[in-house]
Structure 1
């Protein structure tokens, strides 16, 4: 029985329904609040990363085609010295609120480390080489605002690169700043610590050294803060609201687990009754009708919400900084909460057809997808090994799966055909046969069959609702239940038919 039917039968207020509706509102508000805060944090991190690229990469330009790379030895040395000089003179260059990290009252240095093979000699002319695969690491440090006097940095730092053995050069340093834009949203500013890594990657030894900038961010509460007109009340309100969310979800979790437990107990009693009095074994489909799948969905949503809210409290109190995990938990929980709204639409017969179609078509769709996956993987492996050397979209296995999935949906078709290199006529001919066969098979056949499965299930359920075709053995058994309860907890309708919850009344349970 749904909450409306229970209210009519028992005259009791559907507290679980009220609680679920309340949860939709408060969880959505919590997600929006966290999303706005997370959006500011992400934008601040990305803006600082762009700033670091402009400050420390020589000649860097926004939206440049391809990745930042170097091709000459002099450029590599020049860029390393350029990074060091900009780091030393940072506070005179940038107008951002950037500062050096201090530990024990002393500045932390910038470190430059090169990784190279221990020993090795390469002679491409004679086609010979002798390499020791063990890797050595050499480093030196430079402190902020350090003066090198006459001759500059290059005359005071003994650092040379052996490009024949060089694997990579890594530059490490740490900078601090404060995110002031949160004050516009009535939030206290956070202190940020950026652990910046600049990598010169020469692993391929192809004459092209890739240069990239990465930063790990640590967010923490500033040691001493004072904002006029602010006393931190907003933080306390948010913490109190998150506590209310956890309490409501925990209550919902207990109620749903109680309902599932009662359903399982009722299913066991019905199985014993059917076997004892009718000598019949209850099928799994009838057994599962005692377990409400929506309650399982709610339990999963409540568990994720409680975990995400706990992480959110930790982030707000600056004990934790893992925004990604918190975003995944809260986002997934909110998605499940809103998907659960379909359950309440299912109380109306005209809206219930979507749920019935999804439930009936799901087994056939899963079996169909398993069969199609075998063909899809075959095309993925074939395209990766044959077309990978000639096409960027087939260079790695994950790119192949993304490219083929895009082709199924009709995206970027012409560009995929156009970018295929025509150096080898055999490969070009194979690429055409490969792409034409894949598109024809999956778009014209597989997708059509997939849609046909859903459509056929929808039409079947639609006819069943119109013709009132009948129901499972369990539902037919329940329909025959006409015993009048004497517990006083159920109301009697005008025709004198009991509204008891079968099969308790049929089992004679008071």
Structure 2
């Protein structure tokens, strides 16, 4: 078939195979090497084909139908030549060049002021400063809370030792527990005795309110009857709760007058009953004593103690002492926890001093509030600029996508799309939102309670604000790496990690499979005998510490031959020796080798594959023609890298590779080059093919 201009025009109207007339010829197809995979990799793969009118392989419709019957061709579509003009290509190239230029280059070429860069630097500095101010407030609050918590242990827990306040591992002392009914009775009586004379013995600026007595809470089973000698039992495991207030006059024994305040005058066990029936220890799940204490956090200036106080906070401590018998192992484990609430303070001093302190606090509060508003304002401006840049990049990406599809017959790959929709801007938006939320919490902590004249849990607000500020500040410092990316020598860390990520993920998939095998095996076998493996979480922590070579001897010596079953000791030795040899000597070093290999690749100038978009921006593609030899070479160089970046993890499992040639309902987007006898024309063909 000789394709004259009329015929080319008919094909340009996307005529399908069924629209061919009897005897009408069709262009031939000479397959080239496999090219780009399309975006729908699970069902599609793209292969570029070109045809030459001088080489006719299927001259008539009957020939093509024979090819269809043999399973070679299903459909032929031919599209008109590109409608993009060279001027449109040059305009888009200039737009993309400006889009991907560095701030320094924009300044050198067009004197464009890098206000976004300076805004990010300013934002990082003020947020870091805010973080430092918040840390000073947080640290002061936490130190006050921790100091009083330690004091409560010494005041309320009988025979408490300071050795329990340090955190050695393994711990030098066992758990603080009670083992007899006599010990439990004396311990609980001692708590009440200390509470009702707290105002007389304590050194802390806290007091107990006589109008708010201690509160007893007991969680127990409905009924428990145990007959160990007969090896029989009856248990009604319905959980019940019993709550009772314990005023001082009620818990005192008969014969002790109001002035008597000795430890022996208190007896709490008489109140562990319901309907005059004592709750037996085997029925008890846990017992809690709640004590409420009021105090003031006095913050003395660090360097000028003679000056008026900088800040004073009123606090309410809820001290909860729990006797835990949930395991029913013959002991009650004693734990003390505190819950701290804040309340607005009222200053009652001489008018002159009161006015001086109020003025000082007001000035400091106004200064911090102005700074907080500045942080919110800068973060809000950063959000607007990042959102504006994302919208502009989306518009330019849409324009580039249309031109590439129309003129070159290619689609944007995922890495090319990420060149436009950069994740840095999304990171900026998220971090700025966290900063605004955390700053709002700070302002509420300072003025919210004053406005509503109420108590609030300061610790929970502090924790929420500190977490958000920490994540935001970390994210913003990481975001500065984007600007280091404009200088290749300073960007070597990110280039190395980026290049190594596919290999690292594949390595971790294999390594974690082995790790989880050791994790669950150690938890099941060693957990009952080794406290480092008693839970899955502790087992994971222990195995991670062993990878770095820490505590190897301590872990191995916990299970010894003399005190444990022989088979458990033997399994423990085999388990730990094999894990250390495999992970410490082999897997850990191989992991480092994977990263070092990527570093050497980057160091030698490799590892970074230019995409079709990069070649277009840097004018390495011809402006005339849809698919020339240069463009085809660029696409072929990009193919393997694009496949690895988009489908690297799934590639071994997908049946579209050289070693797996089984195709099922697979569509191919085929590109061909057509040349008219009278006029050099360009066309694109899309051929759908199915192979069994």
TM-score range, shorter chain: 0.7 to 0.9
Deviation of 1:163 after TM superposition, in Å, equals 1.4
Partner in structure 2 of residue 6 of structure 1: 106
Deviation of 1:79 after TM superposition, in Å, equals 1.1
Matches of 1:376 and 1:479 in 2, distance apart?
A: 47
Partner in structure 2 of residue 120 of structure 1: 224
Structure 2 residue 266 is the aligned partner of structure 1 residue 153:
yes
Partner in structure 2 of residue 163 of structure 1: 281
Matching of residues 77-226 of structure 1 within 5 Å: 77-101=185-209, 107-143=211-247, 148=252, 150-151=255-256, 152-154=265-267, 158-159=271-272, 160-181=278-299, 183-184=301-302, 187-224=310-347
Partner in structure 1 of residue 57 of structure 2: none
Secondary structure of the residue aligned to 1:180 is strand
Alignment partner of 1:57 out of 157, 164, 175: 157
Alignment partner of 2:602 out of 456, 461, 467: 461
Alignment partner of 1:19 out of 102, 106, 119: 119
Matching of residues 193-342 of structure 1 within 5 Å: 193-224=316-347, 229-230=356-357, 231=359, 232=361, 233-319=363-449, 321=458, 322-342=461-481
CA contact (8 A) 1:380 1:397 kept: yes
Deviation of 1:182 after TM superposition, in Å, equals 5.6
Matches of 2:322 and 2:578 in 1, distance apart?
A: 43
- With 349-358 and 147-156 compared, the bigger mean Cα shift is at 147-156
Structure 2 residue 587 is the aligned partner of structure 1 residue 446:
yes
Secondary structure of the residue aligned to 2:604 is helix
Deviation of 1:349 after TM superposition, in Å, equals 2.5
Alignment partner of 2:131 out of 15, 31, 37: 31
Change (3 A) 1:225 1:309: farther
Q: Deviations for 1:324-362, whole angstroms, at most 9, x for unmatched residues?
A: 111100011111122222233333232122221122222
Q: Deviations for 1:366-397, whole angstroms, at most 9, x for unmatched residues?
A: 23223322221111111000111111101111
State the TM-score, normalized to the length of structure 1: 0.88
Change (3 A) 1:253 1:244: same
CA contact (8 A) 1:221 1:318 kept: no
CA contact (8 A) 2:251 2:268 kept: no
Q: Deviations for 1:127-163, whole angstroms, at most 9, x for unmatched residues?
A: 1111111233333322368894723333995445521
Partner in structure 2 of residue 506 of structure 1: none
Change (3 A) 1:256 1:225: farther
CA contact (8 A) 2:198 2:208 kept: no
Secondary structure of the residue aligned to 1:199 is strand
State the TM-score, normalized to the length of structure 2: 0.66
Deviation of 1:459 after TM superposition, in Å, equals 1.3
Q: CA-atom RMSD, angstroms?
A: 2.4
Matches of 1:328 and 1:225 in 2, distance apart?
A: 36
Partner in structure 2 of residue 428 of structure 1: 569
Secondary structure of the residue aligned to 1:337 is helix
Secondary structure of the residue aligned to 2:341 is strand
Deviation of 1:273 after TM superposition, in Å, equals 0.4
Partner in structure 2 of residue 45 of structure 1: 145
- With 217-226 and 54-63 compared, the bigger mean Cα shift is at 217-226
Q: Deviations for 1:261-295, whole angstroms, at most 9, x for unmatched residues?
A: 21122112111100001111222112211223322
State the structure with more CA Rg: 2
Matches of 2:405 and 2:223 in 1, distance apart?
A: 79
Structure 2 residue 506 is the aligned partner of structure 1 residue 367:
yes
Partner in structure 1 of residue 676 of structure 2: none
Structure 2 residue 619 is the aligned partner of structure 1 residue 471:
no
CA contact (8 A) 1:89 1:145 kept: no
- With 157-166 and 174-183 compared, the bigger mean Cα shift is at 157-166
Change (3 A) 1:57 1:470: closer
CA contact (8 A) 1:108 1:174 kept: yes
Deviation of 1:426 after TM superposition, in Å, equals 1.4
Higher normalized contact order (CA 8 Å, seq sep 6+, divided by chain length): 2
- With 109-118 and 386-395 compared, the bigger mean Cα shift is at 109-118
Matches of 2:367 and 2:145 in 1, distance apart?
A: 26
Change (3 A) 1:482 1:399: closer
Partner in structure 1 of residue 78 of structure 2: none
Q: Deviations for 1:398-440, whole angstroms, at most 9, x for unmatched residues?
A: 0000000000111111111111233222111111111111112
Change (3 A) 1:357 1:156: closer
Secondary structure of the residue aligned to 1:350 is helix
Secondary structure of the residue aligned to 1:63 is helix
Partner in structure 2 of residue 405 of structure 1: 544
Matches of 1:90 and 1:197 in 2, distance apart?
A: 15
Deviation of 1:449 after TM superposition, in Å, equals 2.1
CA contact (8 A) 2:499 2:608 kept: no
Secondary structure of the residue aligned to 1:60 is coil
- With 443-452 and 236-245 compared, the bigger mean Cα shift is at 443-452
Matches of 2:247 and 2:198 in 1, distance apart?
A: 12
> What are structure 1's unaligned runs of at least 5 residues?
484-510
CA contact (8 A) 1:390 1:421 kept: no
> What are structure 2's unaligned runs of at least 5 residues?
1-100, 165-172, 257-264, 273-277, 304-308, 450-455, 623-692
Matches of 1:215 and 1:156 in 2, distance apart?
A: 24
